[in-house]
């Protein structure tokens, strides 16, 4: 049996397990199982790997371990090394290789929506998911400003985001969990009145399908997109990596 799975904590609303169960059934993939492994601490990864041994073929990694997992790996793909964030691990010949398919999924989902005027971005949040978003924006030559609860190197706090900044940054990407079920009324603190039909709002959250952040954009004519398609695309990219011939 080939074992795949997702590590993170908590995993009460995991997309991946259902996605892969449906994929295996739909495509007639035999001898494979995908499970959710809720790990209260990243130190529990090593006992998990020991438990499954050579059966363990691949893992996805979600909040809060996309960065914390790196010391447990033997090697990083060039993209994951640049992002310093891993959401996909391949186990092969006794080695643990970290990849980042968030960036692949995000780029494949975002690119069809981009218009020439989407030439400056605000990235809300600075965690592991934000690293993938930054990587893609750099590859697409779209300059961006990071926004977080606290100011830092290259990062401004939410209270510093003015209507003028909103007006000139027509692509706004939420990488934070604000607005995720069950806290569906929460939204990043922005001057939403500055939004218009030129804006594209992208939320990495997929539950609910329309977060308060996206609704505030839709109310002002902005194009909106949630993270569901990105999740599907990054999951498919993970499967490609786990089964890539070497």
For residue 64, say if its preceding peptide bond is cis, omega within 30 degrees of 0: yes
C-alpha dist (Å) from residue 13 to 16, 129, 182, 206: 9, 17, 10, 10
Per the residue annotation, which of 66, 96, 131, 216 is the catalytic one?
Answer: 66
Rg, the chain, Cα only: 18
In which order are the strands placed within the sheet that holds 155-157? Answer: 155-157, 144-148, 121-124, 171-174, 200-203, 223-225
Residue in the structure block whose two tokens are 């990062």:
155
Q: Give the CA count within 13 Å in the CB-facing half-sphere of 239.
A: 17
Cβ contact 86:32 at 8 Å: no
Neighbours of 129 (CB within 10 A): 26
**What gap in Å lies between CA 97 and CA 95, rounded to an integer?**
6
Which of 207, 200, 141 lies closest to 180 in space, CA to CA? 207
Is 131 catalytic? The answer is: no
3-class state of residue 5 by DSSP: strand
Q: Which residues are catalytic?
A: 66
């Amino acid at each position: 049996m080939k074992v795949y799975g997702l590590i993170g904590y908590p995993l009460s609303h995991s997309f991946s397990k259902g996605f892969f169960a449906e994929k295996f059934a739909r495509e007639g993939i035999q001898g494979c199982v995908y499970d959710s492994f809720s790990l209260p601490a990243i130190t529990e990864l090593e006992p998990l790997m020991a438990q499954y041994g050579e059966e363990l073929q691949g893992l996805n990694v979600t909040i809060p371990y996309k960065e914390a997992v790196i010391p447990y790996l033997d090697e990083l793909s060039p993209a994951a090394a640049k992002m310093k964030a891993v959401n996909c691990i391949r186990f092969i010949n006794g080695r643990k290789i970290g990849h980042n398919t968030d960036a692949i999924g995000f780029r494949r989902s975002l690119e069809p929506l981009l218009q020439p005027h989407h030439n400056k971005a605000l990235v809300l949040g600075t965690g592991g998911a934000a690293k993938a978003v930054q990587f893609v924006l750099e590859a697409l030559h779209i300059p961006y400003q990071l926004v977080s609860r606290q100011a830092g190197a290259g990062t401004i706090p939410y209270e510093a985001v003015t209507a003028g900044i909103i007006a000139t940054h027509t692509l706004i990407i939420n990488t934070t969990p604000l607005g995720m079920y069950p806290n569906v009324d929460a939204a990043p603190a922005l001057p939403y009145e500055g939004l218009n039909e030129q804006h594209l709002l992208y939320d990495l959250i997929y539950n609910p399908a329309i977060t308060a952040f996206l609704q505030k954009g839709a109310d002002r004519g902005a194009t909106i997109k949630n993270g569901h398609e990105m999740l599907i695309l990054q999951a498919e990219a993970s499967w490609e990596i786990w089964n890539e011939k070497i």
